[in-house]
């Protein structure tokens, strides 16, 4: 009976925000919650979550003022069982979320590190855009191609590089679409001759 009163008082003090009570509750039960999380956490989630993420989530839901009435547990064994169930549900809920929605498709993810020669090395990341050196080369090539072009051609090329269509360029410059094509075509052919993309 003393154990029940002691536990109920500790829980109530923790729920009111008393730091000493929270600290004592954590000291008594946190390792039990962590063990349950480690046992339940699937391998695919281990690279994305630390066990403490779930432990904190358990305490956040249990110690809120509107949380469950922990005083109803008459001994530490039952409270441990309840905390274990909450921890299990938190892990399974996150696993379901990550495996049943395409947004978190775990099969599409790759680790940032890989094993090579018995050690972890960073995986080379491939950028969808050009590298800085490729960008500089493209700028140099464009400057070579456009050397000696008239101002009207330079304007058309600049607008084309901004993603505008021939029709949009023609409307903005005030010429026919065919005139825009005639000015762009020789530059495109020169780039193809030099095998520049």
Closest CA to 72 of 27, 32, 23, 12: 12
pLDDT per residue as tens digits for the range 41-56: 887 777 778 888 888 8
Structure confidence at residue 138 (pLDDT): 80
Domain ranges of the chain: 2-106, 132-193
State pLDDT tens for residues 114-170: 888 888 888 777 777 777 888 888 888 878 877 888 888 888 888 888 888 889 999
CA distances, 159 to each of 162, 163, 169, 180 (Å): 5, 7, 7, 11
Residue 148 sits at the vertex; the CA angle it makes with 142 and 149, to the nearest 5 degrees, is: 75
Q: Which CATH architecture has domain 132-193?
A: Orthogonal Bundle (1.10)
Chain-centroid distance, C-alpha 65:
31
In the CATH hierarchy, which fold is given to the domain comprising 2-106?
Answer: Rna Polymerase Sigma Factor; Chain: A (1.10.1740)
Position 193 pLDDT exceeds 80: no
Choice among 29-38, 85-94, 131-140 with the minimum mean pLDDT = 131-140
């Amino acid at each position: 009976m003393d154990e029940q009163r002691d536990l109920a008082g500790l829980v109530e003090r923790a729920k009111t925000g008393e730091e000493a009570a929270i600290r004592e509750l954590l000291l008594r039960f946190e390792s039990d919650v962590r063990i349950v999380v480690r046992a339940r956490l699937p391998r695919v989630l281990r690279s994305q979550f630390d066990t403490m993420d779930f432990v904190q989530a358990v305490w956040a839901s249990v110690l809120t003022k509107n949380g469950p009435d922990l005083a109803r547990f008459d001994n530490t064994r039952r409270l441990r069982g309840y905390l274990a169930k909450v921890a299990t549900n938190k892990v399974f809920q996150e696993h379901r979320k990550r495996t049943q929605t395409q947004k978190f498709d775990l099969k599409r993810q790759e680790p940032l590190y890989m094993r090579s020669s018995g050690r972890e090395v960073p995986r080379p990341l491939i950028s969808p855009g050009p590298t800085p050196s490729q960008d500089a080369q493209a700028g140099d090539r464009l400057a070579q191609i456009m050397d000696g072009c008239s101002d009207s051609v330079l304007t058309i090329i600049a607008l084309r590089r901004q993603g505008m269509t021939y029709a949009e360029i023609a409307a903005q410059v005030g010429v026919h679409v065919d005139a825009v094509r005639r000015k762009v075509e020789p530059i495109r052919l020169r780039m193809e001759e030099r095998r520049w993309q």
